Amino acid sequence: MAVSRRDHKAEITSAVSLPLSGWRHAAASWLSVSVAGSFVLYGVLFLLMRAGSMRRYNTPVLDGWPWVRALSDRLPPDVLVTATPQSPQAAANAALYGLLVVGLVGLWALALRSIRSRSRPVQLRWLLLPQLLFSVPLVSAAGLFSRDIYLYMFYGRILARYGENPFLVVPSRFAGDPHLPWAPWQDLPSAYGPVWLMLSGALSALAGDSLLVNLLTYKAAFLTLHMLTTVAVWEWLRQARPELAAWGAVFYGWNPLVLMETVGNGHNDVMVTLLAILSLLAARNRRWLYAVLFLTVAAMVKLTAVVLMPVLLLGWLLSLSTLRDRLRAVTGASAVAASTALLLYLPLWAGDAMIENVLQNPAVTRYQNSLWETAAYKLGSSHDEAALAPVYRYLGPLRNLALAGAFLFIVRRLLKGMDVPDAWVWLWFAYTLSLSWIWPWYFVLPVALAALCGPGRVSALAVGLTLGGMLFWLGWPDDLAVAPWLFEHRALILFGPAVLAALLPGLSPLRSLRAASPRHAE
């Protein structure tokens, strides 16, 4: 019996669609595996933070929620919870944490691969729901890796309860306040910008006097900012590269380092990140003055965001064709930046105190966790701060020279056509490498920016930052590190994976994303 051309074509189409259908079904299944597996591992992290050998700082959750204490007492073995930093179980807990990090990063990479393998785009709401799921163990954890959230809370309390200016008044002035023992750096005036302080004041006013309610209110705010940033990443990619919108939302929104440092530990870098993405979104729509405005507001959260401004302005100038237009752009950008900064500072006006507080902050004056601190230890005869002061004096100019060289290289790449998001990633990475004081939450911003760039060397760099930023806690602080070399080489743990990923992007678990997508074969 003769077979018609139409029937023959239908047979071929059916033969091709079957494996593609299987591929897509498998992609959906693996995505579900990633979500379920990640939630389980975040639950394990929740239990691990009960361990005395892992919990850097306490939260009031167990005392305020007895049912959480009962649940977390029942699930983990007693030896895990009671382990001290010097006990044999401490090494087992540290190994478990290392495996946990690898598992979370691996499941995140699996989700990214599955997203790119799907023929139909995933709706944004189905990408936001897992973030809420992952956040449950992080919000209710018994411990933190950082106490900065308590300092935010107290600065907000200074505004909301006492009506004082955190730029001028230090926490230790309120000696009888029951929240004070939880706050670090009690003799430091705020080095955060007025935008963050005003938001902190509003959150503290809303939360009242309960320490637990304050903690949960701030964590809810961080979760909200994180989800808004995910939406902003998705919207930028929806306009620029729609086939990567879901991928980018997962790259940032489900990133385990970002979730741990924003929802878990609670750091305001997520607000800087949101405003930076909004700045890029405005720039993409050629609303450059709005881009300058958003980035200025980001600098009024943390002044370090101003590092990105020269690249943004250069990107604007390169989009213009005449000298007159460029002069008008510089004039307009200067006016918008200056007026925005002034208007935001006026409600908490303290003269030059804001800048002075930044310059006198330990993050500027001391060496902590950086490659430069490691170099100083190797060059000096002692680990004592005073003994290393001469070494630090030589390292300061070298750090600035290294950053200046990196900036000039990035400018050259911009002139050759590099996009502003790519340039921002590399500039921020160079900036963190040049810092004397560095912590894992400084990597939240480049992870979000890398999400805009798609699979490639930049995303590989972000994977390295994610691994290094999470594994860093195996070596900090020194009295909880299970081996002295972990503490001594914590800067190498922090930056090592990122440097390797930048030099050898093929090592990244995301290296085969392009090959995994059916779209690339069409």
**In the structure, what pLDDT confidence band is assigned to residue 510 with cuts at 50, 70 and 90?**
low
Q: How many CB atoms lie within 10 A of CB 349?
A: 12
pLDDT at residue 28 in the model: 64
**505 pLDDT exceeds 80?**
no
pTM above 0.85, yes or no: yes
Would you list the domain boundaries of the chain? 20-521
**15 pLDDT exceeds 80?**
no
Give the pLDDT confidence of 47-69 residue by residue, as tens digits: 999 888 887 799 999 999 998 88
Give the pLDDT confidence of 291-334 residue by residue, as tens digits: 999 999 999 999 999 999 999 999 999 999 999 999 999 999 99
Instruction: Report the share of the chain in percent with pLDDT over 70.
Output: 90
**3 pLDDT exceeds 50?**
no
Q: Please tell me the least confidently modeled range out of 83-92, 268-277, 447-456, 482-491.
A: 83-92
**2 pLDDT exceeds 60?**
no
What residues contact 252, with CB distance under 8 A and at least 6 apart?
229, 230, 233, 258, 447, 448, 451
The string of DSSP letters for 455-488 reads TTHHHHHHHHHHHHHHHGGGS-STTT-SSHHHHH
CA distance 376 to 360: 21
Across the chain, mean pLDDT equals 90
pLDDT at residue 367 in the model: 93
Give the pLDDT confidence of 65-118 residue by residue, as tens digits: 998 888 888 888 888 888 888 888 888 999 999 999 999 999 999 999 999 887
**433 pLDDT exceeds 70?**
yes
**462 pLDDT exceeds 90?**
yes
**5 pLDDT exceeds 50?**
no
Give the pLDDT confidence of 471-491 residue by residue, as tens digits: 999 999 888 888 888 999 999
φ/ψ of 351, rounded to 5, equals 65, -135
Cβ atoms of 80 and 91 closer than 8 Å: no
